[in-house]
Amino acid sequence: MTRLALALFLLTALPGCVYTDPAPSPTRSSGESTDTLSPVVTDAPSDAPQAMVWIRGGSFEMGTRDPSGKPDEFPPHTVELDGFYMDTHEVTNGEFARFVKSTGFVTAAEKKPDFSSVRQGSKRTEDKILPELNRPGSICMKQGLKRGDIDPRLGAYGWWEYVPGADWRHPEGPGSSIDERLDHPVVHVSWHDANAYCKWAGKRLPTEAEWEFAARGGLDGKTYPWGNERNPEGKWLINIWQGAFPVKNTNDDGFLTTSPVGSFPENGYGLFDMSGNVWEWCHDNYTADYYGDSPKRNPQGPEESLDPDEPDILKRIQRGGSFMCSDTYCTGYRVTARMKGEQGSGLYHTGFRCVVSHDAHLK
């Protein structure tokens, strides 16, 4: 669910309206390297930057062989990666606040949406846009839902709502605060917002391949960063939804929404929350069939975005699942699970972490 998608859904009552992305995505080459290039870089060039770890490069099988996997997780394919540094945890509210204080940056959710491209024929329809969509805000989960409140015909639209005033400082909207959540992952940040932070920090977003390789923590072919059993010895190792989604969360893991970074054990590479807590933006554009054409060496995603479900909305990859993922609806906390989000929108359960290239230069 994205702000653009919600707007498109709510505007369907306006005959002839078409909603297009006002900020087209720049394209980027796949970055394919051939086998004639230098060997994969595995040795760390220097001591790891603060709160980052070195992920030794190498070869792995990306995607899944599990028949229950989602179609866009196939086919499994071999990928070779140079080593890179990765943040041990998701970027926190406190870290993002320092960035904003230093730069004066304003996130997408804090700006009035741009509906200048919404037209009915040749006549602009900005005056017909629902007032609540024409104010700064972001998308949150509806609170207090009961089973009878859910209209199955609406799908995910039945439990999301646009909340004016919701942003990274106010995760649930006006009246909420991050004052007691400075060590929680920042949310309601768009792909562009995340990139701005990365540039300020001298880092970048991980590619999807880097993210999956790191999430595996050195384990081959496992479902989760720690193995194949979701709750080994009955313990919760991730912050997800327990109970009947989206009407009842039994809160067995101790957290209704985000959890402080590092609340659960790290994986084999020393990375926290590679499963659950918040979805994490990656560099790559999204297409459902990219794995069939992915370069073997250091893939950086397709040149353009295409989501068959919403072909008019340009999307980027998200990974890792979130506190809203449930085994009854979304199993996005698996290491191979893929999600996509409109690059100009932030959500209630979406954040990011950063990486640095093996040669310490952003690419």
pLDDT along the chain (363 residues), means of 10: 54 32 37 53 84 96 96 98 97 98 98 59 50 85 82 81 96 97 98 98 97 97 97 96 92 96 98 98 98 96 94 94 92 97 94 89 39
Spatial CA neighbour of 319 closest among 50, 63, 59, 29 = 63
Instruction: Tell me how crowded residue 316 is: count the other CB atoms within 10 A of its CB.
Output: 26
Instruction: Give the pLDDT score at 219.
Output: 97
Instruction: Give the pLDDT score at 24.
Output: 36
Residue type at position 77: H
Distance separating alpha carbons of residues 251 and 242, to the nearest angstrom: 6
Instruction: Give the pLDDT score at 159.
Output: 85
Residue found under tokens 């970074």: 261
Instruction: For residue 340, give the 3-state DSSP assignment.
Output: strand
Upstream peptide bond of 232 is cis (omega within 30 degrees of 0): no
Is-contact 281 191, C-beta < 8 A?
A: yes
Spatial CA neighbour of 342 closest among 192, 156, 172, 240 = 192
Spatial CA neighbour of 290 closest among 306, 302, 281 = 302
Q: Which two tokens stand for residue 284?
A: 């790559």
Spatial CA neighbour of 285 closest among 269, 301, 271 = 301
Distance separating alpha carbons of residues 332 and 272, to the nearest angstrom: 16
Is-contact 82 358, C-beta < 8 A?
A: yes
Distance separating alpha carbons of residues 155 and 27, to the nearest angstrom: 31
Taking the model in full, what pTM does it have?
0.87
Distance separating alpha carbons of residues 363 and 350, to the nearest angstrom: 24
Is-contact 335 215, C-beta < 8 A?
A: yes
DSSP H/E element including 93: helix 93-103
Q: Which two tokens stand for residue 62?
A: 């990306």
> Residue ranges per domain, the chain?
1-363
For residue 128, the Cα-to-chain-centroid distance in whole angstroms is 31
Spatial CA neighbour of 291 closest among 234, 353, 208 = 208
Burial class (CB in 10 A: 0-12, 13-18, 19+), 39: exposed
Instruction: For residue 347, give the 3-state DSSP assignment.
Output: strand
Q: Which two tokens stand for residue 124?
A: 């602009």
Instruction: Give the pLDDT score at 143.
Output: 85
Instruction: Tell me how crowded residue 76 is: count the other CB atoms within 10 A of its CB.
Output: 16
Instruction: For residue 117, give the 3-state DSSP assignment.
Output: coil
Distance separating alpha carbons of residues 172 and 180, to the nearest angstrom: 14
Burial class (CB in 10 A: 0-12, 13-18, 19+), 278: buried
Is-contact 291 75, C-beta < 8 A?
A: yes
Distance separating alpha carbons of residues 282 and 277, to the nearest angstrom: 16
How many helices (H) and strands (E) are present in the chain, helices listed first? 4, 14
Residue found under tokens 């999301």: 160
Give me Rg for the CA atoms of the chain. Answer: 20
Instruction: Give the pLDDT score at 150.
Output: 76
Identify the CATH assignment for 1-363 out of 3.90.1580.10, 3.30.930.10, 3.20.20.60, 3.50.50.60: 3.90.1580.10
Distance separating alpha carbons of residues 347 and 107, to the nearest angstrom: 12
Instruction: Give the pLDDT score at 34.
Output: 37
Instruction: Give the pLDDT score at 46.
Output: 78
